[in-house]
Each structure stands twice: as structure tokens, then as C-alpha cells.
Amino acid sequence: MSQSKDSKALSNKHPPLLSVIIPVYNVEAYLERCIQSILKQNYSNLEVILVDDGSTDNSWDICKLYKSRDHRIIIIQQTNAGSSVARNTGLNKASGDYIAFIDSDDYVKTEMFQTMISYALTNNLSVVECGLTQSNKAKELSPYNHKCFIETQEEAVERLIREKNWSVWRRIYKSEVIGDLRFIPGKIHQDVFFTIDVLNRVEKQGYIAEPFYIYNTENESITRSPYNMKKLAAKDAPYYVFERTQHHNLNVRTLASQYLIRTLLSHYDRLFSHSYLDPDYTYRKEIKSEIIDQLELKYENNSFYALLAKYSPFWFYGMILKLVALRIKIRLMLLKR
């Protein structure tokens, strides 16, 4: 990617306004780091929308403090309703030409928005995605990664299914592409639904490999908490991916089916290790039936465990999982010697 070419794209036009939407909930330990990383961007035409989702710590006070320091900051406080609703509140308030989402415990590199908006303008793109890294690896980053490319809709969807890169905070979006699209309240994997819907509205998207986004690994969230029934309900996300990719080529449809089966197997396996959640096998019977339905679609879904789940009685499948877990445990013990 040519930095001079992208800089020229910005200098020849009035810099578009970028609305950065940040849902905030009990993140006083990380919020200032997040806000500062945005205010220090070398792209300055921003409005930063902080939506406090009923925090009970000092997060709201931090929002008010930064509002008093920088006129670009807009603060909104609402009763706790979840990050989906907070993001929607931000979308309803946003007036930017482009939209970006940042999670309040994460932070971004100084060059992120300048580089992404420049690339979008240079190549007439409505969506641009960047790379990410984890906060515990941020200091290990190599020099600037210049790899970037433009993908067709199918190419982008195929890569996302392979890499499972659904997070909305690694992209900028032209406001007109989002339009009336909103996040679904209460969804654990809300980003999956939103990302698929956005990509189905564009013919192409840009990708910049540089890990501009720093994902926080220190703060526990619901997606990293112990397995529970709310997580089981999240299997509707891969179903949505499967359903919304049926107009694509055979390769994409096959990947979507494989992705769905892998997710179903993950829930199936976890219910065996958390059998108290499913004492009468109700949910495992349901998932087994869903796996069989996918296998009958005749895609290249020759997963050993999918076939094992299809043909094995529950007691046998559970025994295999215990033997595999024991084998892994023994191997780890031997490696520590």
C-alpha cells in the first residue's frame, strides 16, 4: 500500500467525519487507555460516542471527564441493556460519513483510522478491515506489515468463515452501507449477524494486514466465561452464516456447512463435559439431529467426529471424549517432565 498515494487521497478531499462508537460497561481499569488511543489518532476528524450502559463503577465519571477535555466526545448514559443496544444507541446518534466500533477495554494504534480511511477513499471502498493482535502480544509486533488487498464479496466471506473474523471493531464502514441495519439485542455473537449482513450489501471490501487493533485479553467477558445454556443458544449464529451464504459458490456454501458442523460439535462435546446442563439428553439429541441434517446435504463434511456423533450411541461418544481427554492429559504430563 502506498502511503503517499493514500495521503494524497485525503488531501484532495475534505476529510470525511468518522464516528467511533464505544459501548462502556464497568471498564474503569481500561477505559482511559481506550479513549486516549482514539484521541491520539493522526486522523482528527472524529466524533467519539461513548455510550455508558449503566455502569456501576467509575466509568461514567471517566466519560464525563474526557467530554470536558475534548469537544469531539459525545457521551450518552442509558439503563443497562447490553452492548448490542449500546451500539445501536451510538448508531442512532452518529453523524459521520464512516462508522467504527471499538470495545472499551481494547485500544488501537495511532495510524489506524488515517490508514483505513485513506485506503477506502483511494479504492472507493465502503468497508475496510484491518488486522489485530492480543494485548499480551502487542510488544512483540514486527515492523509495519504492508500487505493489503481488495476482496470480492465471496472472497471476503470465504476468508471470514475460515478465520472466524466476525468482530465488527476491526472494520470501518461507510454510513450509507449500514443504513438501518442494527444489532440484535441479547445476542452473544451479535457481530456474526451484523458482519454477514453488511458484507451482503457490498460488492467488495478492503483488507489491511497491519494489526492496528489491540484486543484486550485481561478482561473476562461472557464469551470467555464457563459454558452455560446461554452459550448453547448462540448456535444460531453459525446457522445464520449458513443461511445467508446460500447464494454464494459451492466452496463458500461448503465452508459454511463445515463451520456450522464444527460449532454444533463444540456444543455437543461441551454438553458431555457439562452433563448436569442436559441430564435427559434433550439438547444432545437435538444437536445430533442437526449434525445429521448437515451431513445429509452432501457437502464435503467428512469430519471424523461428525460421523462419530451421527452413528454412535451417547454412552459410546461420551467414552471416546473421556479417552481423548485422558490421552491429552497424559501427554501434557510427559511433556512437563
Q: Do 289 and 315 reside in the same domain of the chain?
A: yes
Domain boundary among 222, 253, 271: 222
Q: Do 203 and 236 reside in the same domain of the chain?
A: no
Domain boundary among 173, 190, 222: 222
Burial 243-259 (b: 16+ CB within 10 A, else e): ebbeebeeebbbbbbbb
91-100, 140-149, 201-210, range with the lowest pLDDT: 140-149
- Over residues 151-174, the pLDDT tens digits come to 999 999 999 999 988 999 999 999
Q: Do 15 and 137 reside in the same domain of the chain?
A: yes
What is the rounded CA–CA span in Å between residue 50 and residue 35? 9
pLDDT higher than 50, residue 246: yes
Q: Do 183 and 258 reside in the same domain of the chain?
A: no
Domain boundary among 222, 245, 270: 222
What is the rounded CA–CA span in Å between residue 134 and residue 140? 10
Q: Do 236 and 267 reside in the same domain of the chain?
A: yes
Q: Which residue range is the domain that position 300 belongs to?
A: 226-336
Q: Do 211 and 236 reside in the same domain of the chain?
A: no
Average pLDDT over residues 109-134: 96
Q: Do 26 and 77 reside in the same domain of the chain?
A: yes
Q: State how many domains the chain has.
A: 2
- Over residues 307-326, the pLDDT tens digits come to 999 999 999 999 999 998 88
Q: Do 295 and 146 reside in the same domain of the chain?
A: no
Which residues, in sequence order, are CB contacts of 309 under 8 Å at separation 6+? 265, 268, 288, 291, 317
Q: Do 132 and 271 reside in the same domain of the chain?
A: no
